Structure 1
Amino acid sequence: MVGFLRAFTAASAVPAAAVAAVALSSSSSSPSRPPSSRLRFPPPPSLSAFAASSSSSSAVRAPTAAPPMAAAAASTADLSAPDKGTALPELTTEFMVDMKCEGCVTAVKNRLQTLEGIQNIEVDLNNQVVRVRGSLPVKIMLDALHQTGRDARLIGQGNPDDFLVSAAVAEFKGPVIFGVVRLAQVNMELARVEATFSGLSPGKHGWSINEFGDLTKGAESTGKVYNPPDYLSEKPLGDLGILEAGENGEAQFSGSKEKLKVVDLIGRSIALYATEDKSDSGIAAAVVARSAGVGENYKKLCTCDGVTIWESS
C-alpha cells in the first residue's frame, strides 16, 4: 500500500511540474526581455525528480522580488523612434547612497541583484557611491534602493569617458505640472529618454523636443519641433510621440531614440501639449540643461543632520 501511494504521488506531481516548466520557458524566451543577471534558485524539492529526468526543461527559476517594470512604463507612452518597443539599452547609472558599513553594502547589493536587467554593480563605500550597469529605468533602481531604508539620489548617468556631454535633464517645476525628463547618451547613434510627470489632465498628450529654450510665453515661445537638417524621416527627430496620463494625472515613460545626440539638445526645450496632435500652443515647457555624467558629481552626506551636500568635481 505504501509503495502504491508513493507511486501515485510522484505521478500526480508530473503534470503540475510540466505546466510550471512550460510557463517559465515561455517567459524566459520573450524577445522583449533583455539578458538578466538576477539571482537563480534551484528547483523546489517536489520538482527535482522531474527536472532531472526531462531533457528539454531548464532549471526552474523563482520569480524575482520585484517584477520588471520597463514594459509597464513603456505602455503608457509612444516614443516616435525606429526602435520603439525594444528594451532599454544598457547604461551606467551612479547613485549616492547613505551607507556606513560593509553590512550596508551587502544590503544594497542584495536588493539590486533581485532586479532584472542589471549586469554589474560596483559600490564605493568611502564616497557612498553605487554604480550600476544595466537596462533598467532610474526610477525602478531608486525605488529598490529606498526599500533598503537608505537615502539615495541619482548623481550621474552615461558611458564613462565616451562622450563630452553624456546626460541632460529638463525639470518641470509647476505650478500645475511637475516632472523631470532625463536624456542619456548610450552611443553616438542612440540615446535613452526617461520621464515622470504629475498634474496632467487624464488622457493623451503630445510631447516633443523643441528648437528654443525661450520660456517667456511658455511652450508657445519654444519654436518648432527640433529636427536637424541631415535627419530624413516622416517625423522630426524631436517628436517624442504621445504621452498618456492616468486618472491621477501621472505619466511615466522610458524608451530609446535613434540618431538623438544629447550634446545638440542643451539649451533647447521639452514641451507638453494638451492634445496628442500638438495643435494647441502647449501647456508646459522646460529647458534642457546639461546633467552630470558618470564620476562627475560626487557629493557627501552630513552625518550630523543628514543634509545632502553636493560636490561637482
Structure 2
Amino acid sequence: MAAALGGSLTLAPRVASSPPGNLAPANLVGKAGAGSRIEARVSKVALAMAAGSPVEEAVHASVSGIIHFSLAPRLSQATGGETLPELLTEYMVDMKCEGCVKSVRGKLEPLEGVKAVTVDLSNQVVRVLGTAPVKAISAALEETGRSARLIGQGSLEDFGVSAAVVEFKGPEIHGVVRFAQVSMELARIEATFTGLTPGAHGWSINTYGDLTRGAASTGAIFNPQQQDTEVHKNIFFFLLDSFGNLSQPLGDLGAVVADETGRADFAGTKTGLRVTDLIGRALAIYATADKSVHGIAAAVIARSAGVGENYKKLCSCDGTIIWES
C-alpha cells in the first residue's frame, strides 16, 4: 500500500446496524499519515476468523467502530524521479585561498539536488543545502583533489539528536549507514556496504547494541509500536495480502541488493523513525533477504554530529589540523 505512511484503520459497517450472523461485507476505511485515504472490503466472517472470535462479536465490533490499528511506517527508496528530503550537510575541506573556494563551488553547485553552497574559508567548512545524497557530494569534492570529510548533517530545524551513524569495519563486510532527522516523523537514510555476496541482503535496526555474540545478541527487530492485543496482531496478518505488510516492525529496513562486486548502496527515507530512539541499538545485515535467522554482521548505532557541532581543532604542539568525525 504505497500511500500508507502511518495512521489508523477503522472497521466501519455498511449499514447503521447488523443482526448477529450478518455476512455482508464491511468497509475498512483508513487514513494515511500523509493525509491520503484508503478503503477496502472484507467479509465480517473472515475478520471473525482472523481475530479468533465469534461472528457476532466481530459484527458488534464493526458496528461500534472499536477496532483500530496502526499502519506500519514505510521505507521508501529514492529511485528514478524520486528525490531525498532536503538537508544541510557540512564538510571540512582543505582550502587555502579564494581559488580553492571557486574550485569547490564549481564542482558542487552544478550537482542535481544542490540548492545552495556556502563556504567558510577561515574555518575550512563547506555547507551544502539540498536533496543531493552524501555519495554524490563526496564524489564531487574528491574531484577537486582536496582533502574533505563529512562533519555534520541535519535539518535546518532543531530536532535534538538529528543524526546517527553506523560503521561496519570488517573483516569481510565494511560499510557506513547514516541516519538524519528530516522532521519529527521522517528520517533520511543513506548506506553503502562492500564485501557482501551478490544478491539481496536483509537489514534491520535491532533492539540491543550488544555485540558479544555478533548479530545473534542484538535481540529482535526494533518495534516500539508493537500491538497490545493478539486480536490486533491477528487482524494484521489476515490483511497482509490486501494492504501490504502492515505488521512490519519499525526497524525492518527491507533489503539492499549487492552487485557482482559485493557493493550495495541505499538512499531513501523511513516514516516514523526517530534518530534519538536509535542511539545505542544495533544495525544488522543478513546473509539473504530472510531475517528469520541471525544476521551475519552487526554494528552499534552511534550519535553523529549535527550541523555546526564538529569543527576542526588545532594541535597545540605543531598547529596541525585535527579532523574530527
User: Structure 2 length as normaliser, TM-score?
Assistant: 0.67
Query: Which residues of 2 match residues 1-313 of structure 1 at below 5 A?
Result: 81=74, 83-85=76-78, 86-160=82-156, 162-229=158-225, 233-300=246-313, 308-310=321-323
Checking the alignment, whether the CA contact within 8 Å between 2:192 and 2:264 is kept in structure 1 is yes
Distance 1:307 1:245 in 2: 39
Structure 1 residues 87, 139: closer, same or farther in 2, change over 3 A? same
Secondary structure class of the residue paired with 2:217: helix
Offset, 1:132: 0.5
Deviations 1:95-119 (A, max 9, x none): 0001101111111111111111011
TM-score scaled to structure 1, two decimals?
A: 0.70
Deviations for 1:285-306, whole angstroms, at most 9, x for unmatched residues?
000000000000001578x999
AA aligned to 2:127 is R
After superposition, the Cα gap between the structure-2 partners of 1:308 and 1:203, relative to the gap in structure 1 and judged at 3 Å, is: farther
The Cα of 1:310 is off from its aligned counterpart by: 3.4
Shift of 1:255: 0.5
Give the direction of change, closer, same or farther, for the CA distance of 1:234–1:296 in structure 2 (3 Å limit). same
Give how far 1:265 is off: 0.2
Q: Per the alignment, do residues 90 and 230 of structure 1 end up closer, same or farther by CA in structure 2, a change over 3 Å counting?
A: farther
1:150-173 CA distances to partner (integer Å, 9 max, x unpaired)? 111000000245121000001101
Separation of aligned partners in 2, 1:215 and 1:169: 16
- For this pair of structures, how many residues does the alignment match? 232
Q: 1:280 offset after TM fit, Å?
A: 2.4
**Greater fraction helix:** 1
CA distance in 2, matches of 1:96, 1:216: 35
Q: Which runs of 5+ in 1 are unaligned?
A: 1-79
Q: Distance in 2 between matches of 1:197 and 1:189?
A: 26
Match of 1:9 in 2: none
Instruction: Give identity over the alignment, percent.
Output: 65
Report the CA distance between 1:228 and its aligned residue: 1.0
Q: Is the 8 A contact 2:250 2:273 kept in 1?
A: yes
1:58 maps to none
**Cα deviation 1:50-78 (Å, max 9, x = unaligned):** xxxxxxxxxxxxxxxxxxxxxxxxxxxxx
Structure 1 residues 265, 123: CA separation in 2 closer, same or farther (over 3 Å shift)?
same
Whichever residue aligns with residue 145 of structure 1, its letter is L
Structure 1 residue identity aligned to 2:206: N
SS of the aligned residue for 1:136 comes to coil
Say whether the 8 Å CA contact 2:225–2:250 is kept in structure 1.
Answer: no
Instruction: Tell me if the contact between 2:164 and 2:304 (Cα under 8 Å) persists in the aligned partners.
Output: yes
Q: Is the 8 A contact 1:160 1:293 kept in 2?
A: no
Change (3 A) 1:227 1:112: same
- Counterpart-to-counterpart distance in 2, 1:182 and 1:115: 21
Q: Using a 3 Å threshold, how does the CA distance of structure 1 residues 151 and 307 change in structure 2: closer, same or farther?
A: farther
Unaligned runs of 5+ in 2: 1-72, 228-235, 237-245
Secondary structure of the corresponding residue to residue 244 of structure 1 = strand
Tell me, in whole angstroms, the C-alpha distance in 1 between the residues paired with 2:116 and 2:285. Answer: 35
Letter in 1 for 2:170: G
Distance, in Å, in 1 between the alignment partners of 2:255 and 2:226 is 24
- Bigger shift: residues 172-181 or 153-162: 153-162
